[in-house]
Amino acid sequence: MPDSPSDFIRDMVRADVAAGKHGGKVVTRFPPEPNGHLHIGHAKAICVDFGVAKEFGGRCHLRMDDTNPTTEDVSYVEAIKRDVKWLGFDWGEHLYYASDYFQRFYDLAEKLVERGRAYVCDLPDEEFGRSYRGTITEAGKDSPYRTRTPAENLELFRGMRDGKFKDGEKVLRAKIDMSSPNMKMRDPPLVRIKHAHHYRTGDSWCIYPLYDYAHCLEDSFEGVTHSLCTMEFESARELYDWVISATEVPHVPQQTEFARLNLTYTVMSKRRLLQLVEQKRVSDWDDPRMPTIAGFRRRGYTPESIRDFIGRVGVAKNLSTVDVALLESCVRDDLDRRSPRVMCILKPLELVIESFPENEVEELEAPHWPAGTEPGADIAENLRGSRKLPFSRTLLIDRDDFAEDPPAGWKRLAPGREVRLRHGYFVTCTRVEHEGGQVSRVICTHDPATRGGIASDGAKNVGTIHWLSAAHAKDVEVRVYDRLFTTENPGSDESTDWLLELNPASLTVVRAKGEPCLAQAEPSARFQFERVGFFTADPDGKPGAPVFNRTVALKDAWARQTAKAAPTKAAPLVSQPATTEDKKPAAPLSPEANALVTAHGVTAGEARVLVQDAVLGALFAAAVAAPEGEALAKQIASVLVNDLLGEMRAKKIDALPFDGKALVELVQLGQAGTISTKQSKDVLAEMIASGKPARAIVEAKGMKQIASADALGPIVDQVLLANADVVARYRGGNVNVFGAIVGLVMKQTKGQGNPKVIADLVKEKLA
């Protein structure tokens, strides 16, 4: 994470400490429910909770909010503790459990009953929600049991405690306000009946507190000063404060919310993750395709890379979805500094060097680390220096590095072509042998004067491929993992089963060949397989039979696949009538445009525009070369081609008053959710006119994206009421008008509303 991060939470805590609030102390907490494994979204909360406490000389508690005995287990408790420590944080002696406070919760609940602030309700929760709670636009109505006297309620509540009633037969509710605009304040349940065995308290209790009642009291009991949580708890803050006030506990904590972490191609719902495990769609919670911390650990991610990613994402209030490519970029950067280089052939093809003596083995030398790189202290001694590479007449190369009929620009091996064997010799293909209609062997000669891969006549513009001596290569199992889902936002289309969006190619098991040193790799040992990617030894491996997980490819292979599948014609930059020329097939991409597609994952259309327009091309190159620019290359290209070029043409501009770094800042503000898509375009126009930095423009104009469901809910209600005919068409089966309704709400917010939050609210209200 950055050395001195700054965000609205840290600014608030800094001001509190300076003012001596809470006696100048900072106490935070991370309070997971032990009903599943932690995922990457929890990693953000962990880094915020523990990070803020550490930065201000305070402490962070780890607390298990174990108030639901039917879903919790001690195995989850141990997994949570393991994950937090692996991420680099320690709670010291401050490990707590909500179950430690069950008696205190009960005593305070009796106090609420005695003071007429809570009552026992006989209505089933479903009936209360359907017939009494009301809606966002309509007030609720009182439960028929709301008028019970404190004495009656106390007797019934004690009967609940003594096990006299069945599950769901009665519930203790807060007596607050059934007409409150905040639905959370309409007599919420506080304590429920559950005749279930608790993993810590056994059968001592048959009533358990609800989370909204318990967690604020836990914060008070433990002296938490800053209760930091994600935005979905914003509407619960009023209830949080009510419980603290009504129970009259002495310490008053302060709740502050920040945006949760959402990733593309990922689901974060514990319920859905559990479904993947139970249906055997993945091997377990630590399957390397899972977004759990255990899954990332097994896949080979490092805690440093995850903390770096969280630091780059930052802390804000606006909801946004972060491209998973940024996380992959962080782990690439980290593994590049800590992974020794070795060679491994995933698709072996035999290569015979006829000019090399039979039965002779030559020992070549290759570095484990690039020049100028110092391996970390955790690297085994035998991986610190160089390694020996046996070179013989019969080698193995990767089948993808040979083509009988090579395409234009082919830099690898082909009949009559010469390539460099990495750390070896230059070889030239003389002929090919076939078996069963497939290439089975490639025959070559070598240039003895090129030992070590050094050209005999100076620099040669030939490609380089990796290889192994067939007699010395070891069998290794390689598990090539890819993204678990094929869509950026799995489950967003409620008309489609989200499980159908699973990627059938998310795991490919390969019987590969590797260098001898791989055979004895210890679990969690990391390597860069040269020209292939970063790999980690899996615990399933055994001495002599290693298993390796692909942590991440050397480049964003997914972006390249998407670029290949994308139409080669660029989208119109401005509204123009179709012409005959528009209907012609797009011309093949130039080598320069192809290079942009391959290197940065931009679309073919974007690549063509960037190559043709010198100003945009130069700005793109400067932006991706700027710090953190490469990870945002696709978004940068989209802004340049779809937004900036239109502005330049409309205003006849041929020079720009800002550089690539300023463009990266603009894209980052959009990625972080600080500004909406429409606001981003407005900021870009101001940058063109004034040359001012994006952040300065945003701050000066007070721009912000509206991502609060509480703020957007009334606007959605207003739009639905004003467009009853459109709503009727949707409910009559015309689902195509859904986008129009979302657009109307966006227009009402002047483009400042978060589209996903709006879409979710519209779906909820239309249902």
pLDDT at 5 over 80: no
pLDDT digits (tens, 9 = 90+) for 321-354: 899 999 999 999 999 988 999 999 999 999 999 9
- The label of the residue with tokens 């402490």 reads 59
Mean pLDDT for the stretch of residues 665-686 = 82
Q: Record the pTM.
A: 0.72
Q: What is the Cα 587 distance to its own chain's centre?
A: 37
Q: Give the model's confidence band at 4: pLDDT under 50 very low, under 70 low, under 90 confident, else very high.
A: low
Query: Residue 446 — very low, low, confident or very high, per pLDDT cuts 50/70/90?
Result: very high
CB proximity list for 543: less than 8 A, separation 6 or greater: 519, 520
- Where does the pLDDT of residue 759 fall: very low under 50, low under 70, confident under 90, or very high at 90 and above? confident
Catalytic residues: 33, 260, 270
List, for residues 61-111, the tens digit of each pLDDT value.
999 999 999 999 999 999 999 999 999 999 999 999 999 999 999 999 999
Q: In what order do the strands lie in the sheet with 507-514?
A: 341-342, 526-529, 533-537, 547-553, 474-481, 507-514, 344-345
Identity of the highest mean pLDDT range in 349-363, 548-562, 673-687: 349-363
The one-letter amino acid at 172: L
Q: Token pair for residue 530? A: 């040269």
What pLDDT does 723 receive? Answer: 76
In the structure encoding, which two tokens stand for residue 494, read together? 């409620």
- pLDDT beyond 50 at 604: yes
Query: Which region holds residue 750: left if phi is over 0, alpha if psi is between -120 and 50, else beta?
Result: left
pLDDT tens, position by position, 431-443: 999 998 899 999 9
Residue 472 has pLDDT above 60, yes or no: yes
d(CA 65, CA 339): 39
H-state helical runs in 534-675: 557-565, 591-600, 604-612, 614-625, 633-639, 645-651, 660-671
Q: Which of 144-158, 253-267, 456-470, 705-719 has the lowest mean pLDDT?
A: 705-719
Length of the chain as a residue count? 767
Least confident of 124-138, 264-278, 490-504, 571-585: 571-585
Q: Return the CA Rg of the chain.
A: 31
Give the confidence band of 559 by pLDDT, cuts at 50, 70, 90.
Answer: low
Q: What is the mean pLDDT of residues 564-583?
A: 36
Which range in 346-360, 694-708, 720-734 is most confidently predicted, on average pLDDT? 346-360
Between 83-87, 143-147, 671-675, the lowest mean confidence (pLDDT) is in 671-675
310 strand-pairing partners: none
* pLDDT for position 569: 35
150-161 and 102-114 are packed helices; what angle lies between their axes, rounded to 10 degrees? Answer: 160
Range ranked top by mean pLDDT from 368-382, 523-537, 737-751:
523-537
Average pLDDT over residues 126-143: 91
In whole angstroms, give the CA distance from residue 675 to residue 236.
Answer: 25
Q: Give the chain's domains with CATH numbers.
A: 341-472 (2.40.240.10), 560-576+587-701 (no CATH), 709-766 (1.10.10.410)
Q: pLDDT confidence of 578, banded at 50, 70, 90?
A: very low
Element housing 86 (H / E)? helix 74-86
The encoded tokens of residue 476 equal 């290794």
- Which residues have C-beta within 8 Å of that of residue 699, sequence separation ≥ 6? none
Report the range of poorest mean pLDDT among 154-168, 524-538, 671-685. Answer: 671-685
Decide if pLDDT at 477 tops 90.
yes
- pLDDT recorded at residue 557: 54
> Phi and psi at residue 427, in whole multiples of 5°?
-130, 155
Predicted local confidence at residue 478, as pLDDT:
97
- Look at residue 646 and tell me whether its pLDDT is greater than 90: no
Specify the pLDDT at position 581.
36
What is residue 238's predicted lDDT score, i.e. its pLDDT?
Answer: 94
Confidence of residue 556 (pLDDT cuts 50, 70, 90): low
Residues 6+ apart with CB under 8 A from 561: none
pLDDT at residue 231 is higher than 80: yes
- Give yes or no for a contact between 289 and 295, defined as CB atoms under 8 angstroms apart: yes
d(CA 255, CA 229): 7
pLDDT tens, position by position, 146-198: 999 999 999 999 999 999 999 999 999 999 999 999 999 999 999 999 999 99
Beta-carbon contacts of 435 under 8 Å, excluding residues fewer than 6 positions away, are: none
For residue 57 the two structure tokens come to 């000389």
Q: Give the DSSP H/E element, type plus range, for residue 418.
A: strand 418-421
Q: What dihedral angle (degrees, nearest 10) is formed by the CA atoms of 446, 447, 448, 452?
A: -90
Show the 3-state SS of 159-186: HHHCCCCCCCCCEEEECCCCCCCCHHHC
Instruction: Give the 3-state secondary structure of 253-322.
Output: CEEEEECCCEECCCCCCHHHHHHHHHCCCCCCCCCCCCCEHHHHHHHCCCHHHHHHHHHHHCCCCCCCEE
Label residue 34 by pLDDT band (50, 70, 90).
Answer: very high
What letter does residue 512 receive in the DSSP assignment? E
**Rounded mean pLDDT, 525-537:** 95
Least confident stretch, 64-78, 117-131, 367-381: 367-381
- How many other CB atoms are there within 10 angstroms of residue 650's CB atom? 11
Q: Is the pLDDT of residue 244 over 70?
A: yes
Under 8 Å between Cβ of 31 and 63? yes
Whether the Cβ atoms of residue 400 and residue 413 lie closer than 8 Å to each other: no
pLDDT over 70 at 1, yes or no: no
- Three-state DSSP class for 391? strand
**543 or 723, which is more confident?**
543
* Residue-level pLDDT at 568: 36
Q: What angle do CA 745, 751, 756 make, to 5 degrees?
A: 65
**Would you give the end-to-end CA distance of the chain in angstroms?**
42
Maximum separation of any 2 CA atoms in the chain, in Å? 101
pLDDT of residue 452: 84
- Report the range out of 351-365, 599-613, 726-740 with the highest average pLDDT: 351-365
Q: Residue 573 pLDDT > 70, yes or no? A: no
- pLDDT tens for 286-307 read 999 999 999 999 999 999 999 9
| pLDDT of res. 560 | 52
Most confident option among 147-151, 516-520, 665-669: 147-151
Contacts of 146 (CB under 8 A, 6+ apart): 119, 121, 175, 187
